[in-house]
Structure 1
Amino acid sequence: MNLRHGAVGVSLVLLLGACSSTRPGEPPVSSTATATRSVLPQPVDEAKERAVAAYLGMWSDMADAAVTSDWRSPKLASNATADALSRISRGLYADHYNGLVTKGKPVNHPTVESVEPAAAPTTVNVVDCGDDSQWLKYRADTGQQADDGPSGRRHIEAKVKKAVDGSWKVVDFAIQDVGTC
């Protein structure tokens, strides 16, 4: 009787080993490890999250620098590069030159329009309906609000790319007129 139970036990061990997803020489994978592996972010999801974070970071960095129209703020390069960084720096320099500062913060609601390529994303296109009605320009010398044209909700498109160091940065953006979203 004991011999028979021993043979059944060995058969079960061999059968369970054959059903395992591990290869010979690899440690067995527990169900916890398998569950954890399936919960890890997928490349597309991670790219979307990091691109949106860079996009929002760019606006936050710009708003911080705009309080003094500091076109040389090193913070600006944290989330923007290429044409985006150039556009921001030029705009802040123009405000500095014209004696303007900006108070408040823009309100953004970005969504991801596309991710390319899907297998290993390096580019994310973001669209937004940004609201600049609480982000206004003032004369630096008098504190009076400057007549800077209409403010409100505007359609914004941005291209965010993965840099060589693995960070994500806005490389370009375009802002449409008030009322375009």
Structure 2
Amino acid sequence: MAAGCSAAGPKPVVKTLAPSGTSPTSGASAPTDQVSIDALSAYAGMLADMAVAARTADWKDSVLTHHATDQALSELVRILYREQAQGLVSRGAPVSHARVVQVSSGTAPTAAMIEDCADTTSWPEVDPKTGRPPAGANPGGKRLIRARVAEADLVWRVTDLAVNPIGSCS
């Protein structure tokens, strides 16, 4: 995962694919359906924001705060800081297979847990001068991402984020 500036060009499209034959809200009640929709939207927004910031590995890019806060924001900043320190940027965007696996209880749920088997094959880290991956670079692949998304003051944001290594999901 990496960084960039919103003025650097059009916002990347993060493709989100629902598992075949299922819906993230199958069999859920109306409030749970809306929570799932809002949580998945915030998560997809966070991935898109990260793809924008990754274009320049700008770990200070304010776009990161649009859909992430708390530990999740710190994790995004850490990833971009590492990328910038290595002299790399990322091009493209991840392909998300996110699904809601848990919604908080109550009549007005305000949090959800998401699991994603994100494919980063089309989101390589590259040398910004050549546009090519550095020698020995990881070609990307599928990785398990777990995220907690919560609503505060009518805004849904990713609050906690665990990005696992490539190969952590199939």
Would you say same fold, with TM above 0.5? Answer: yes
What are the equivalent positions in structure 2 for 1:80-95 lying under 5 Å apart? Answer: 80-95=68-83
**Structure 2 residue aligned with 1:23:** none
Mapped pair 1:45 → 2:33: yes
TM-score, structure 2 normalization: 0.77
Query: 2:137 aligns to what?
Result: 148
Supply the AA of the counterpart residue of 2:144. H
Q: Which one of the candidate residues 89, 102, 126 is aligned to 1:138?
A: 126
Alignment of 1:70 with 2:58, yes or no, is: yes
In structure 2, C-alpha distance between the alignment counterparts of 1:174 and 1:51, rounded to whole Å: 16
Q: Secondary structure at the match of 2:91?
A: strand
Letter in 2 for 1:77: T
Of the three residues 79, 90, 95, the one matched with 2:67 is 79
Q: Which stretches of structure 1, 4 residues or more, deviate above 4 A after TM superposition? A: none
Map residues 1-181 of structure 1 onto 2, 5 A cutoff: 42-146=30-134, 147-163=136-152, 165-181=153-169
> Which residue is equivalent to 2:25?
none
Query: Which range moved further: 123-132 or 135-144?
Result: 135-144
Number of paired residues?
140
AA of the residue aligned to 1:130: A
RMSD: 1.5
Identity of aligned residues (%): 40
Whether contact under 8 Å (2:51, 2:92) holds in the other structure is yes
Q: Return the structure number with greater relative CO, CA threshold 8 A, min gap 6.
A: 2
Higher-Rg member (1/2): 1
Q: Which has the higher helix share?
A: 1
Normalising to structure 1: TM-score of the pair?
Answer: 0.72
Q: In structure 2, list runs of 5 or more residues that go unmatched.
A: 1-28
Deviation at 1:119, TM superposition (A): 1.5
